[in-house]
Structure 1
Amino acid sequence: MRAAARRRDADQRDWLLRGTPPPPWVRWPPPLLLAAVVLIQTLTPQTPDLIFLVAAVTPLAALSYGPTATALLGGLVLLLLTLPGLGLGHPGSGDQLTITFIALLSVLFAWVRGRRERQLVMVSTVAEAAQLAVLPPLPDRVGRVRCAGLYQAAQRESLVGGDFFDVRVSAHGVRALVGDVQGHGLAAVGTVAALLGAFREAVIDMAELEGVAARLDRRLVVDSADEEHTELFATAVFLEFPDGSDVVHVLSCGHPAPLLLRGPDVTELSVASGPPLGLGIAGTAPPERLTVPLFPGDRLLALTDGVCEARDATGAFYPLLERLSAMIEADPAVVDDPPALTEQVWSDVLRHAGAVRDDVTMMVFAPERR
């Protein structure tokens, strides 16, 4: 799961707008500008006066340096202006006072910026730790099932949104969950945490996959019982890879069906879609389970609707089955590299839609035969 890496990349690209710490390259312009002005003014004394560029050195330094370094650089600028043999223009007293004032303001700005960055780093670190506690990265293998996935929260500043997933080993085999809470962004994180907590207990306690779904359904019903006019629900798909059997059990609660990747063929599993979680129905009328035999090399792709509902400029949905089949036909070996497969699909979704404003989850499961 590479959501944290993507967020760090976005921070590096948009550091000035986001207020995040600047990238390392921002430290080079102030000294390079000062050196260039001094060199040009020294070698070509007849050129126009470049003192106005010298005044820009300390404001540039304040973008990336601390107050001490900014003050030292400002002092160096003022020192160079007073050296008569250097030929750095002919500043008058008014020019020197202006540059001194700009330097002092730059030092103040650097102090404020540094303090704000420290606070932002501390808050971001705490938020990231809390979100990763809710939705920790999965290992490459859980039991006999290799896992790979891609998770992209709709809010760029978030690691966790309205989608959720988990894979756990139980006494009945490896059980997996991929779901989508009503809404997205930070407002849905509390519901995601409650559902994942219920799932992690249910996979241990419940002998049947239907019982796991019922436990999550009850969790949402209880959470919304004391709130009026609350429509708290979630869609989810459950998968179970039982021990000692080369099959997968699939259960859907109003969620898009998983895809079976078998050689060059991509097939949507014909699992019956039961009611979403949170309506109080899963416990009394559980959704119908689908059992699918697995052959060597089979892969399963579970996803949320952020993928298949991505639209292009004309409003057309992303044709997942067709595009995925074309990818595998062009490069059959991609199914043996699940992380590369999810990245290819995600890149293709972005090419189709330009930008995706919903949470996106894709999970590839590669079970080993017993």
Structure 2
Amino acid sequence: MRRARGEPGWLRGEPPPRWARLAPVLALLVLVLAQRATPGDVELGYFLAGLPPVAAFAYGAAGTAFFAALVLVLLGVPGIGVAHAQGADLATVAAVGLLSVVIAWVRRRRDAQLVSVRTVAEAAQLAVLPPLPGRVGPVRCAGLYRAAQRGTLIGGDLYDVRAGPYGVRALVGDVQGHGLAAVATVAALLGAFREAVLDDAELAAVAARLDRRLLADARAASVEHPELFATAVLLEFPPGLDLVRIVSCGHPPVLLLRGTAVEELAVVPGPPIGLGLGLAGPGPPVAAEVPVRPGDRLLLHTDGVTEARDAAGRFYPLADRVPAAEADPAGLVLAVWRDLVAFTGGGPRDDVALLVLSLDGPPQPSGDAGPATT
């Protein structure tokens, strides 16, 4: 099971760490040795009554019952020389042990249910946004996604790379809102994009299809969410051509990394527009054509990257800090993320999506196969 960022596995229903299972054993040994090393008029053995509740956090009902019984033996048998409890004291220790066993049993059941629920949730999220392959047709690709909402794999950002009859196409988008509330919109956009890769001959038509999807969903939405909005950038590597076509709908500019040089591709003149506002209103989007060479890398990102701030409130200057000398797409993505975490002192608080695309070798016709998970 994939672990959510910053969340210990043992709080998510996974087996507790080794130190948690060793804690009651070590505490037992320390208390017994301490009692034997202290004068007879100092009673430390009664601290043993706290061991069953501690064991309940790391062991099941049987393990907790063993600790409870062991404590009763140590306290109830005078010849052992740890402590000697009688009557009401032993009854109290037994009650604490019994309650600890019940707690351990309930915890194990809750952990099993939590694992089942999270497994289903993560499978559903991975079905919406599957991992990228290392290559789609002639294009090498690497992506990184970090959701702002703790315990989730996806939020309001999205990306995908697909091969179709018109070449390899990529999408990076950022929908209104973040967290689980935006997942339905993300799923709708990705579904429309994957259909358009196979059906629409023009990249502008792909953007128009995504826009119609959001408009249709907004009309069907409740009054609490009357408008759905997203920014997006679409890329297309046509078969047999040394260029990339780009359509941007209000999205942060794509960075072209050529050697150690970094260039922002400002491909849409005039005021930016976004998906969900009706592309036919201000005019249909125009696909810009940018020449590319083998080895060039295109870095796409969402505003969760460039709007991340450091302790002084300064925005992250991606174009100035990107390690352009890194030729491997996967290495470039990780290097940008590590630098972003260091810059912000722990990571941004918004959804973050990074996608690097590189034309590896001479362009060649691409097939219809979609991405496979790695």
TM-score by length of 1: 0.90
Task: State which drifts further: 22-31 or 221-230.
Answer: 221-230
Q: CA deviation at 1:249?
A: 0.9
Q: 1:42 to 1:289 in 2, by over 3 A?
A: same
Mapping 1:1-370, distance limit 5 Å: 5=2, 7=4, 10-12=6-8, 15-16=10-11, 22-42=16-36, 46=40, 48-227=42-221, 228=223, 230-272=226-268, 274-281=272-279, 285-324=283-322, 327-328=323-324, 332=325, 335-354=326-345, 355-370=347-362
Distance 1:234 1:23 in 2: 42
Distance 2:208 2:310 in 1: 37
Distance 2:209 2:101 in 1: 58
Distance 1:187 1:287 in 2: 28
Distance 2:359 2:38 in 1: 72
Q: 1:298 to 1:346 in 2, by over 3 A?
A: same
SS at match of 1:266: strand
Counterpart of 1:137, as a letter, is P
SS at match of 1:280: coil
Q: CA deviation at 1:284?
A: 8.1
Q: CA deviation at 1:349?
A: 1.6
Calculate percent identity across the aligned residue pairs.
57
SS at match of 1:302: strand
Distance 1:212 1:237 in 2: 11
Q: 1:282 to 1:58 in 2, by over 3 A?
A: farther
Distance 1:263 1:44 in 2: 72
Distance 1:225 1:365 in 2: 35
Counterpart of 2:355, as a letter, is M
Q: Contact 2:167 / 2:239 at 8 angstroms: preserved in 1? A: yes
SS at match of 1:336: coil
SS at match of 2:214: helix
Q: CA deviation at 1:44?
A: 5.3
SS at match of 2:114: helix
Q: CA deviation at 1:203?
A: 0.6
SS at match of 1:297: coil
Distance 1:24 1:366 in 2: 43
Q: Contact 1:275 / 1:282 at 8 angstroms: preserved in 2? A: no
Distance 1:207 1:47 in 2: 90
Distance 1:174 1:48 in 2: 78
Q: CA deviation at 1:306?
A: 0.1
CA deviation profile, 1:148-196 (whole Å, cap 9, x unmatched): 1110011011111000111000111110000000111111111111111
Counterpart of 1:166, as a letter, is D
Question: Which runs of 5 or more structure 1 residues have no equivalent in the other structure?
Answer: none
Q: CA deviation at 1:113?
A: 1.1
SS at match of 1:56: helix
Distance 1:218 1:239 in 2: 19
Distance 2:283 2:21 in 1: 63
Question: Which runs of 5 or more structure 2 residues have no equivalent in the other structure?
Answer: 363-374
Task: State which drifts further: 151-160 or 342-351.
Answer: 342-351
Distance 1:106 1:313 in 2: 45
Distance 2:18 2:235 in 1: 45
Counterpart of 1:320, as a letter, is L
Distance 1:130 1:226 in 2: 23
CA deviation profile, 1:50-77 (whole Å, cap 9, x unmatched): 2233112111110011112111221111
Q: CA deviation at 1:78?
A: 1.0
